Chain A
Amino acid sequence: EDKVVQSPLSLVVHEGDTVTLNCSYEVTNFRSLLWYKQEKKAPTFLFMLTSSGIEKKSGRLSSILDKKELFSILNITATQTGDSAVYLCAVPPWIQGAQKLVFGQGTRLTINP
């Protein structure tokens, strides 16, 4: 059974701290891993990772994939209150030409001023 597990489930830090969110997976025919940020409404796309060891970066956010150990991390440096959100990790197993996203439970990140 395809499975994505995120940790921690909840994290509270102070503004300016650096955080690391974890995502491990076991899926059929792995092709990519995606990170989303969800505030009040729709999940918004952050990164797609397909290759091991290549860091993707966007401002203070970065992410890397380890296909041997089957996990990814999402780092946020110099956190701001606007980073408070649920961060979702998802993997689309490639089955019969179709991709179906399998999501982890999410990490709820709270940044206190």
Chain B
Amino acid sequence: NAGVTQTPKFQVLKTGQSMTLQCAQDMNHEYMSWYRQDPGMGLRLIHYSVGAGITDQGEVPNGYNVSRSTTEDFPLRLLSAAPSQTSVYFCASRETGINQPQHFGDGTRLSIL
């Protein structure tokens, strides 16, 4: 049982490039979400999904796309990378139910030059 797995762990991009951050969970969790963590700002929600085929925007969705074709996978796409997207990205999942804690992956550190 690996939990929440994120790849890659580190990535450096040039401005304007696109890329996909991968997130997979093997706990059969319906809820999955993506956060970014910047110094002094805590974690902010980018996009989330309540099940396969259903996604919605969080607090800071601009410049990012997501899809949820399977329960296990929830990739985050940067369409045209900008230096403001330099951050640490965390994927999380949790069980269905009102009071269930979220479980986080180890994060992807992304630098945009």
Q: List A residues at the B interface (Cβ < 8 Å).
A: 4, 6, 9, 31-32, 34, 36, 41-45, 48, 50, 88, 90, 94, 97-106
Contacts and interface: CB of A to CB of B under 8 A. Distances in A.
Nearest to B9: A41
B101 A103 contact: no
Contacts of B74: none
A102 B59 CA distance: 9
Interface residues of B, number: 26
Residue of A43, A94, A98, A104 ringed by the most chain B CB atoms within 10 A: A43
Contact of B43 (A6, A32, A98, A101): A101
A9 B94 CA distance: 27
A105 B104 contact: no
Nearest to A49: B99
A99 B31 contact: yes
Interface in B35-71: 35, 40-45, 48, 50, 56, 58
Contacts of A94: 98
B73 interface: no
A102 B45 CA distance: 8
